[in-house]
Amino acid sequence: MMPDANSSGKGKNLMKVIKIGGGCLNGQKTIARIVDLIEQRAKGHIVVVSALNGITDALIEGMQQALADETAIAGIMSRIKAKHTNVARHLIVSRQALNDFNKDLSKSMFKLERLFYGLNFTREITPRLADVISSYGERLCAQLLTRVLRSRKVNAVCRMPHHMGMVTDGKFNDATANLPRTEKNLARHIPPLLDAQTVLFIPGFFGVSESGDITTFGRGGSDYSAAVVAATTGAESLEIWKDVDGFMSADPRLEPEAELISALSYEEAAELAYFGAKILHARCVEPARTRKLTIAIKNTLHPEADGSLISANAPKSPRTVKSVAHDTDIAVVKVHASGVGARPGILAQVATAVAGVGVNIRSVITSQTCISLLISRKDVAASRSALVAMAPRPYRRIEVRDDVALIAIVGDGLLKRAGIAAQCFAAVAACNVNVEMISFGPSRAALYFLTKGKDLQKAISAIHSRFFSSPRCLPPGVGGP
């Protein structure tokens, strides 16, 4: 059961922050169900929302279209508008609230249109403009849901992050919240707004820099927003409402026997978020951990189910390994050079060149003769050209591997417990899958390695059965976990 919103304990803040993902905000029927849930469970709480499904993509693609062709702007605007008016027409049940929403919408559309024209006129998508434009999906969604709830006679209010002082470090598209400043500002704004009967909507995904610029937290960043709001308002917990049950012991599309993980530590959740399990934004754990805030993943299709609970005192699993995650969006750029370990500065030079073209290096593995950079596949071309352009070249040869997949086994205490790695690799070897590269040690809770992409399914299922169920292809003589 979710805790009752209104059973306010004396002196104790039972306020929750609930985050509603864009995946749930898809189609009138689904949205209507979410609105029912909000009405039943969110009074007295803060609801941080994502954009309606597909809107952020439409805004981001819209920028490219608007840059190339001014006449595309009218179409982009009307598609975004139609998505919201369709939902509004069906779900806002009073004429007054519908009129109010239409006024909100016209104002926002007017501003958004000017931003698109500005972009076309200046022939440039600056990071500043890109962040403002992409923040509109969340703004519109929060306004829409506020009007829907009001039309049902629920006391709903909406406040924008930049009006409340959700302060960031100003880094466009990858901002970090300034927690102490935000805490101070929210302490002034929120308590007067929120009583036991009120639902307070806040758009996720962005905050505002000291100098007043809208700055987003990167794609999927509404989870992070919600964690920031929860951490800085002293909320009792953070609930992330999604359309899945929570973290699983493997991707159920690859492993039919995957089980729900009911309790995780912050470190386990962060590793799993990072390694491809698209349940949570990887940085969402940071603010939660600093305040020992419990995060509950809840499925809106089964709201009574417990989901996955992430907390400071997650019970240790007797199995040690909690999940086998994977990521297929991975490529390796191998930079061959002699004596890597003995040449000061070479790693920094190579990493600086690649990072300098905006590529996020996801991991680095080095040996005496080679630096292997793990990056997203979309970044291969840019990384290669950045390295080729280095003068003088500090390396002999570059090699790119994009036929690989990354597998991670995650669980607290992995590093300390003898034999876990051996069991994992024995299971993989028993299925005749070759392990290409291993990294073990940087995190206390994860071991990761690469295999050929075509071997992914085989390897996942071998490891999963090794740690979670009856072994399927285990070599003789390897004991149980």
CB of 207 to ligand ASP, least distance (A): 13
Please identify, among the stretches 40-48, 218-226, 269-277, 289-297, the one whose residues bind ligand ASP according to the rule CB under 6 A: 218-226
Instruction: Kindly determine how many residues on this chain lie close enough to bind Mg ion according to the rule CB under 5 A.
Output: 2
50 counts as binding ligand ASP under rule CB under 6 A: yes
CB of 56 to Mg ion, least distance (A): 5
CB of 253 to Mg ion, least distance (A): 20
CB of 453 to ligand ASP, least distance (A): 26
285 counts as binding ligand ASP under rule CB under 6 A: no
CB of 47 to ligand ASP, least distance (A): 14
Q: Which of 222, 233, 372, 465 binds ligand ASP (CB under 6 A)?
A: 222
Residue with tokens 């709830």: 149
Binding partner selected for residue 219 from ligand ASP, Mg ion, none, CB under the kind-specific 5 to 8 Å limit: ligand ASP
Binding partner selected for residue 205 from Mg ion, ligand ASP, none, CB under the kind-specific 5 to 8 Å limit: ligand ASP
Residue type, 188: R
* CA 218 to chain CA centroid, nearest Å: 8
CA distance 19 to 230: 10
Binding partner selected for residue 137 from ligand ASP, Mg ion, none, CB under the kind-specific 5 to 8 Å limit: ligand ASP
Pattern 188-217, binding to ligand ASP, x per CB under 6 A?
A: ----------------xx------------
168 counts as binding ligand ASP under rule CB under 6 A: no
Position with the least CB separation from ligand ASP = 222
Q: Which of 20, 24, 48, 50 binds Mg ion (CB under 5 A)?
A: 50
CA distance 274 to 406: 11
The answer to whether 405 and 345 have CB atoms below 8 angstroms apart is no
Q: Which of 165, 221, 246, 276 binds ligand ASP (CB under 6 A)?
A: 221
219 counts as binding ligand ASP under rule CB under 6 A: yes
Binding partner selected for residue 221 from Mg ion, ligand ASP, none, CB under the kind-specific 5 to 8 Å limit: ligand ASP
Q: Which of 22, 207, 307, 394 binds ligand ASP (CB under 6 A)?
A: 22
Q: Which two tokens stand for residue 298?
A: 């809840």
161 counts as binding ligand ASP under rule CB under 6 A: no
Q: Which of 44, 62, 137, 276 binds ligand ASP (CB under 6 A)?
A: 137
Is 170 exposed, middle or buried, given 0-12, 13-18 or 19+ CB atoms closer than 10 A? middle
CB of 133 to ligand ASP, least distance (A): 12
The values of phi and psi at residue 16, to 5°, are: -115, 160
237 counts as binding Mg ion under rule CB under 5 A: no
CB of 463 to Mg ion, least distance (A): 31
Binding partner selected for residue 136 from Mg ion, ligand ASP, none, CB under the kind-specific 5 to 8 Å limit: none
CB of 119 to ligand ASP, least distance (A): 19
Q: Which three-class secondary structure string do you get for the chain?
A: CCCCCCCCCCCCCCCEEEEECCCCCCCHHHHHHHHHHHHHHCCCEEEEECCCCCHHHHHHHHHHHHHHCCCHHHHHHHHHHHHHHHHHHHHCCCHHHHHHHHHHHHHHHHHHHHHHHHHHHHCCCCHHHHHHHHCHHHHHHHHHHHHHHHHCCCEEEECCHHHHCCEECCCCCCCCECHHHHHHHHHHHHHHHCCCCEEEEEECCEEEECCCCEEECCCCCHHHHHHHHHHHCCCCEEEEEECCCCCECCCCCCCCCCCECCEECHHHHHHHHHCCCCCCCHHHHHHHHHCCCEEEEEECCCCCCCCEEECCCCCCCCCCCCEEEEECCCEEEEEECCCHHHCCCHHHHHHHHHHCCCCCCCEEEECCCEEEEEECHHHHHHHHHHHHCCCCCCCCEEEEECCEEEEEEECCCCCCCCCHHHHHHHHHHHCCCCCCEEEECCCCCEEEEEEEHHHHHHHHHHHHHHHHCCCCCCCCCCCCC
Nearer to ligand ASP, 159 or 334 (CB): 159
Please identify, among the stretches 50-58, 68-76, 250-258, 300-308, the one whose residues bind ligand ASP according to the rule CB under 6 A: 50-58
Q: Which of 5, 22, 58, 199 binds Mg ion (CB under 5 A)?
A: 22
Binding partner selected for residue 276 from ligand ASP, Mg ion, none, CB under the kind-specific 5 to 8 Å limit: none
300 counts as binding ligand ASP under rule CB under 6 A: no
181 counts as binding ligand ASP under rule CB under 6 A: no
Q: Which of 56, 209, 308, 323 binds ligand ASP (CB under 6 A)?
A: 56
134 counts as binding Mg ion under rule CB under 5 A: no
Residue with tokens 């729900």: 260
146 counts as binding Mg ion under rule CB under 5 A: no
Beta bridge partners of 375: 331
Binding positions for Mg ion, rule: CB under 5 A: 22, 50
Binding positions for ligand ASP, rule: CB under 6 A: 22, 50-51, 56, 137, 204-205, 219-222
